[in-house]
Amino acid sequence: MGSSIDDFLKKEGIFDEAQAQAVKEVVAWQLAAQDQPHSS
């Protein structure tokens, strides 16, 4: 499944942009998760 999505993005010419956006979103999510108090 992952490779077909990559192939689609490459055909559309937006693979690099999509990958960069995904990295930014993951980093933002990780930073937001660090800001949340851990409930135990």
* pLDDT at residue number 1: 55
Report the distance separating Cα 4 and Cα 27, nearest Å: 24
Tens of pLDDT, residue by residue over 1-34, are: 568 999 999 999 999 999 999 999 999 999 999 9
Nearest to 16 by CA among 26, 6, 1: 6
Report the distance separating Cα 30 and Cα 38, nearest Å: 13
Instruction: Give the residue carrying structure tokens 């135990």.
Output: 40
Q: In this model, does residue 39 exceed pLDDT 70? A: no
Work out the pLDDT band at 37, boundaries 50, 70, 90: confident
- Confidence (pTM): 0.66
* pLDDT at residue number 40: 60
Mention every residue, 6+ apart, whose C-beta is less than 8 A from residue 15.
Answer: 6, 9
